[in-house]
Amino acid sequence: MNEQQGVFKNLYKNLMTPILKNDSGIDAEYLTNLSLSLLSFSSRKYNWPLVSSILKNLNEEFSVIDKRLSQNICGINFCNPIGLAAGFDKNGNAANIWKDFGFGFAELGTVTKFAQNGNPKPRLFRLAEEEAALNRMGFNNNGAENLVKNFLEQGIEFKKNRDNICLGINFGKSKITSLSQAKDDYLTSLELLIPYCDYAAINVSSPNTEGLRKLQDPILLKDLLRAIKNLPNCPPLFVKIAPDLSLKDIEDICKLIIEENIDGIIATNTSIDRLGLENRKIRQTGLLLSEENGGLSGKPLQKKANQVIKDIRNIDKNIILIGVGGIDSPESAWERICSGASLIQLYTGWIYKGPQLVPNILEGILKQLNIHQLSNIKEAIGSDLKWVK
């Protein structure tokens, strides 16, 4: 590690970690928006000499490059299996620079047809001791047209003209749109953004938009997916599902995925299950977690999200899976991959552990590949291999 490497890790440790050790203090959503403002500026001014120099150092500190980590999935080249999960960069404000944090891809959104403010505040809460979060954001975003504008302002080219940025876009239903009109809502957003996205994630599982999870019903989901598949130049499609589905529900969705030739599943979204934390008090509101609306994410979700990956793998080994939920260490990342995930995504764990989590996971995966004498990460997917210290 050269002199300049380690700077950003230490900066995060000294500035952010003390804040993240407490439920109260600086509001979680305010902190997220402040971070995004800085990242947005850097993404737009990428070619400024000072910004360029900082991002170069950032890239050197957090990137791990090794061909054993690379895969081609659905015709998309992923330089490594770690992605930024949807929900952090809803408006694509930092689309240009996620690669500099070491990510192999980033999933932007959730984006909706109409700009919307989301649910009333406060709507994002830290559960510091559990390294978890409760959110009921409600798809707050500036709309699909604004996302196109953000891409243009950052110089993000059509996917066919770029090879250094891998972007997925997560699509949801606008709150003001009825379920009967949901299909048109999704289609409008996709038509605008297909030229920019390497893959599309169809979000039918957020607990924070009323009625949205009803779209996981096989009949409604089939109608939606068929319409999307018929769009010109439709990208690879992944359906994002909830962790709270029954095994029968999961089986029905898998059957639909296979029948309709959908590329894969993202498992999972946040959970409405309180996962043993029902009596945990939210300090900002004074209410118990069992009394609060919203989805739970982070470490408490780890076991449940991993089980969903295993369940899908047991149903059909050919469904491509992106694992997300509670991944916060090299061990949990390796477990998710060996349970059946071809790719994994980080959000809450990345916030608590800091940006060093990405290279730590990648270096950990490489060590396991060496220990198990595997030539590429693909050989670990669904292998049930254990983490070896």
Known binding site: residues? 86-90, 110, 135-139, 170, 203, 208, 240, 268-270, 298, 326, 347-348
Binding-site residue ranges for substrate? 90, 135-139, 203, 208, 269-270
Extract the tokens encoding 192.
Answer: 């605008």
The answer to whether the CB of 373 falls within 8 A of the CB of 73 is: no
Distance in angstroms (rounded) separating the CA atoms of residues 17 and 152:
34
Q: Where are the beta strands (DSSP E) in the chain?
A: 71-73, 76-78, 82-84, 105-111, 124-127, 132-135, 167-171, 199-203, 237-241, 264-267, 295-298, 320-324, 343-346
Nearest one of 304, 35, 85 to 203, comparing CA atoms: 85
Distance between first and last Cα of the chain:
23
Distance in angstroms (rounded) separating the CA atoms of residues 309 and 315:
10
Burial class (CB in 10 A: 0-12, 13-18, 19+), 148: middle
CA atoms within 13 A on the CB side of 281: 6
The answer to whether the CB of 263 falls within 8 A of the CB of 320 is: yes
Known catalytic residues are: 206
Burial class (CB in 10 A: 0-12, 13-18, 19+), 70: middle
Distance in angstroms (rounded) separating the CA atoms of residues 292 and 127:
13
Amino acid at 151: F
Per the listing, tokens 């409604």 go with 220
Distance in angstroms (rounded) separating the CA atoms of residues 330 and 368:
10
Neighbouring-strand partners of residue 106: 84, 167
